[in-house]
């Protein structure tokens, strides 16, 4: 269900406004209504956003080093500000060293073919009046007469390339149509020393980052939280209207109805003018889901799609039982369900400091595992084996009571699809009544008469004979409601035309929607087949050896079932969500598009 919200309006004297906002933030229950979109023009807000991005990058980089924290401690925002500057300085130095190292490596590649010589020797020859030039050419390009004409001397021969120098008195022109080499002004040994020093410098800087990663991440997170609070504060200021020549500040927001008394007590102590009102149909009310117990566990799945609008039904409690059942049918293996249940239970018993947000997810996994155990008993599948092949009284009793063959599982999938779609149409009628009034739900109720009466006549002809008087009465009432009242206020002929169009959509869309539920049977069947295949491989591929045989068999069994379980759990999550978000939501008339309730509070 959706928590009831109240609209709040505050009128505050401008000199007291900052203190008022800080008090509201400490209260932490008011969702500020968005009005202004001035963040792009607000330099201070943009600077805070950039600073937050810098903190995010620094934290992500340090966490990516995978360094074990030295000791748990509460973050210091002040220290985090100082550390950010140090981290960015170290990163800049690492980048500079990397550029220098890249340049040195490039020079090494250029100089290595010429060998290790002292550039000062070349300089002394030039001072003595000789011109030294370095050339690179292919074997075919080199001409033997260059040895006599230009004193060409071969230095190195690498592959098909020839490296040589010419020595001529200064002033004499040399015109060789080959590549001229420009060498660094240092020796090869000097470059190797420089490269080694740069590598050591880079290692020292990386070590410094790892030292910081072990101790300062909480400080950075605390500083980032402080920046986020500043950002939220700035956004609230942007959503404030100024009145009476900027003397009065007008702010609107939302709060859950059960928090209003707390807010009133606070505001009366602050002597602030305020108004509390119920939302109107035109208001964009933030959504706070307030489901209890079992249904609350499925709220994250609803958020994966979109939140409902304030004036429509929250479908979380209505799809939750179906989703759990569909997951169990898709996974369809009691062994896998038992493994999920036991693994999460052991983790909860052993693990320490499980976050509050993680506990509901673990509980949901336990419930889905339990559902899989029960649904797996319909076919008797357990890690690819058939439990009902075991001649034990318990399993044989279960086989007689609940066992279903493939045809029955196929029929069950279609029946569940039909039930969920009909249930969705009932919710659609309720939703239309709540939002617009009963007359807008008449056409939907008419289609329900047609579909439900026909389904009952097909399933139980002894109760309502197909084509009998009772069935025909329901059909007549349903047709009249669906064709004559599907769009209240419009011409009767328009209604009939729209009814014909709805009939076409119902005939084509409803059949496709129901057939979509065959995936519940198909996924469970395919998972069981793959599990049995891995069992056969484990037995057939194990060598005939007392020691190696069992080891190979266990390895194939464990790895194969791990792969199969991962794939099937993924499918058992995705396909029930698809059935929920497409077939069920569509037939229930769900629109969604609500924005989440996010109170202005300290982070």
Question: What are the respective helix, strand and coil percentages of the chain, to the nearest 5?
Answer: 65, 10, 25
Residue 39's pLDDT is 46
Q: Are residues 224 and 273 in the same domain?
A: yes
Q: Identify the domain boundary among 186, 205, 229.
A: 186
CA distance 200 to 193: 11
Per the CB < 8 A criterion, the answer to whether 364 and 297 are in contact is yes
CA of residue 105 relative to chain centroid, distance: 42
Question: 121 and 68 share a domain?
Answer: no
What value does the mean pLDDT take over residues 120-143?
A: 88
End of a domain among 170, 186, 202?
Answer: 186
Q: Which of 225, 248, 277 is the last residue of a domain?
A: 277
Q: Which two tokens stand for residue 71?
A: 């000791």
CB-based contact 587:342 (threshold 8 Å): no
Give the separation between CA 323 and CA 321, rounded to whole angstroms: 5
Q: Are residues 219 and 182 in the same domain?
A: no
Helix H, strand E, coil C: the string for 529-543 is HHHHHHHHHHHHCCC
pLDDT tens sequence across 550-572: 888 888 888 988 998 899 999 99
Please give the average per-residue pLDDT across 33-55, as a whole number.
Answer: 68
Residues 23 and 63 in one domain: yes
The candidate with the shortest Cα–Cα distance to 205, out of 105, 68, 88, is 88
Is 40 a member of any domain? yes
Beta-strand ranges (E) seen in 359-454 are 381-382, 385-386
**371: number of Cβ within 10 Å:** 23
For residue 520, being part of any structural domain is answered with: no
178/30 same-domain check: no
Give the model's pLDDT for residue 165.
Answer: 92
The radius of gyration of the chain from alpha carbons, rounded to an integer in Å, stands at 38
Q: Per-residue pLDDT tens for 541-552?
A: 877 777 887 888
Do 227 and 267 have their domain in common? yes
Q: What is the pLDDT of residue 253?
A: 82
Confidence of residue 245 (pLDDT cuts 50, 70, 90): low
Q: How confident is the model at residue 235 (pLDDT cuts 50, 70, 90)?
A: low
Cβ atoms of 413 and 591 closer than 8 Å: no
Q: Tens of pLDDT along 466-503? A: 777 787 888 888 877 777 777 776 666 666 777 777 77
Domain assignment present for residue 103? The answer is: no
Specify the pLDDT at position 322.
92
Do 168 and 220 share a domain, yes or no? Answer: no
The pLDDT score that the predictor gives to residue 246 is: 67
Q: In whole angstroms, what is the distance from residue 553 CA to residue 599 CA?
A: 56
The H or E element that residue 273 is part of is strand 273-277
Domain annotation covers residue 293: no
Q: Does 271 fall in a domain?
A: yes
- Read off the pLDDT of residues 407-457 as tens digits, 9 standing for 90 and up: 988 989 999 998 998 899 899 888 888 887 788 788 888 878 888 888 888
Does residue 35 register a pLDDT over 60? yes
Angle, vertex CA 330, rays to CA 328 and CA 333, nearest 5: 65
Tell me how far apart the alpha carbons of residues 48 and 45 are, in angstroms, rounded to a whole number: 5
Pair 91, 234: CB distance under 8 Å: no
Contact 481, 444 (CB under 8 A): no
Residue 97 has pLDDT above 80, yes or no: yes
230 is a domain residue: yes
Model pLDDT for residues 458-470, shown as the tens digit of each residue: 877 777 777 777 8
**Whole-angstrom Cα distance, residue 578 to residue 322?**
12
Asked, for residue 524, whether it belongs to a domain, the answer is no
User: What integer pLDDT is reported at residue 24 of this predicted model?
Assistant: 79
Shared-domain flag, residues 173 and 227? no
pLDDT at position 486, please? 73
The whole-number pLDDT of residue 327 equals 93
Domain range holding 172? Answer: 117-186
**Model pTM score:** 0.70
Q: Same domain, yes or no, for 123 and 181?
A: yes
Per cent of the chain over pLDDT 90 is 13
Q: What's the Cα-to-Cα distance from 117 to each of 101, 112, 147, 176, 191, rounded to whole Å?
A: 21, 10, 22, 24, 12
Of 574, 599, 62, 23, which is closest to residue 287 (Cα–Cα)?
Answer: 599
> DSSP per residue over 130-193, as a string?
EEEEEEEEETTT--THHHHHH--EEEEEETTEEEEEEEEETT------SEEP---SS-HHHHHH
**pLDDT the model gives residue 81:** 84
Instruction: Give pLDDT, residue 38.
Output: 45
What lies within 8 Å, CB to CB, of 600 at 6+ separation is 21, 24, 25, 28, 30, 31, 32, 232, 236, 253
pLDDT score for 442: 80
**Confidence band (pLDDT; 50, 70, 90) for 366?**
very high
How many angstroms separate the CA atoms of 318 and 304, rounded?
16
Give domain status of residue 16, yes or no.
yes
484/490 Cα distance (integer angstroms): 10
Taking residues 72-78, what's their average pLDDT?
74
Q: What is the mean pLDDT of residues 153-181?
A: 87
Count up the domains in the chain and report the number.
Answer: 2
Are residues 268 and 227 part of one domain? yes
């Amino acid at each position: 269900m959706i928590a009831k919200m109240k609209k709040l309006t505050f009128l505050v004297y401008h000199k007291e406004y900052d203190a008022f906002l800080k008090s509201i933030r400490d209260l932490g229950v008011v969702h500020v209504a968005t009005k202004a979109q001035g963040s792009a023009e607000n330099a201070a807000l943009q600077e805070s956003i950039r600073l937050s991005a810098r903190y995010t990058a620094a934290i992500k980089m340090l966490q990516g080093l995978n360094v074990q924290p030295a000791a748990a401690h509460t973050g210091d925002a002040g220290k985090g500000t100082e550390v950010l500057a140090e981290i960015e300085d170290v990163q800049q130095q690492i980048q500079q060293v990397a550029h220098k190292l890249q340049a040195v490596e490039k020079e090494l590649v250029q100089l290595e073919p010429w060998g290790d010589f002292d550039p000062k020797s070349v300089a002394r020859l030039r001072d003595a009046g000789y011109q030294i030039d370095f050339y690179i050419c292919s074997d075919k390009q080199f001409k033997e007469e260059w040895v006599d004409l230009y004193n060409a001397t071969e230095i190195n021969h690498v592959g098909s390339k020839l490296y040589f120098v010419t020595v001529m008195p200064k002033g004499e022109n040399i015109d060789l149509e080959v590549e001229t080499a420009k060498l660094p002004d240092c020796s090869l040994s000097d470059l190797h020393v420089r490269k080694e020093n740069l590598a050591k410098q880079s290692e020292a800087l990386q070590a410094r980052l790892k030292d910081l990663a072990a101790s300062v991440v909480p400080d950075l997170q605390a500083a980032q939280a402080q920046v986020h609070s500043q950002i939220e504060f700035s956004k609230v200021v942007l959503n404030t209207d100024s009145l009476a020549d900027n003397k009065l500040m007008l702010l609107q927001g939302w709060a859950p109805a059960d928090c209003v008394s707390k807010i009133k007590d606070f505001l009366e102590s602050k002597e602030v003018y305020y108004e509390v009102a119920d939302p109107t149909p035109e208001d964009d009310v933030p959504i706070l889901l307030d489901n209890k117990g079992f249904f609350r566990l499925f709220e994250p799945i609803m958020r994966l799609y979109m939140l409902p609008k304030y004036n429509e039904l929250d479908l979380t409690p209505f799809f939750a039982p179906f989703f759990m059942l569909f997951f169990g049918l898709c996974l369809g293996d009691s062994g896998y369900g038992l493994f999920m249940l036991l693994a999460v239970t052991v983790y909860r018993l052993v693990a320490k400091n499980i976050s509050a947000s993680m506990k509901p997810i673990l509980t949901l996994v336990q419930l889905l595992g339990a559902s899989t155990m029960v649904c797996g008993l319909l076919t008797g599948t357990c890690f690819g084996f058939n439990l009902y092949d075991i001649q034990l009284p318990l399993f044989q009793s279960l086989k007689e009571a609940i066992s279903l063959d493939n045809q029955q599982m196929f029929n069950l999938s279609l029946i569940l699809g039909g039930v969920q779609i009909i249930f969705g149409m009932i919710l659609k009628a309720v939703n239309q009544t709540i939002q617009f009034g009963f007359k807008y739900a008449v056409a939907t109720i008419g289609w329900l008469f047609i579909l439900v009466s026909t389904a009952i006549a097909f399933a139980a002809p002894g109760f309502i004979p197909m084509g009998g008087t009772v069935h025909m009465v329901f059909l007549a009432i349903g047709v009249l409601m669906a064709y004559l009242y599907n769009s209240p206020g419009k011409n009767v002929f328009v209604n009939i035309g729209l009814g014909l169009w709805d009939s076409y959509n119902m005939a084509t869309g409803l059949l496709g929607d129901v057939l979509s539920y065959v995936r519940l049977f198909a996924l469970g069947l395919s998972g069981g087949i793959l599990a049995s295949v891995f069992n056969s491989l484990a037995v057939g591929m194990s060598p005939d050896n007392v020691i190696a045989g069992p080891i190979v068999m266990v390895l194939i069994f464990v790895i194969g079932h791990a792969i199969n379980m991962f794939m099937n759990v993924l499918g058992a999550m995705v396909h029930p969500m698809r059935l929920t978000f497409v077939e069920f939501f569509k037939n229930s008339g769900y629109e969604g598009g609500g924005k989440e309730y996010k109170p202005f509070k300290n982070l």
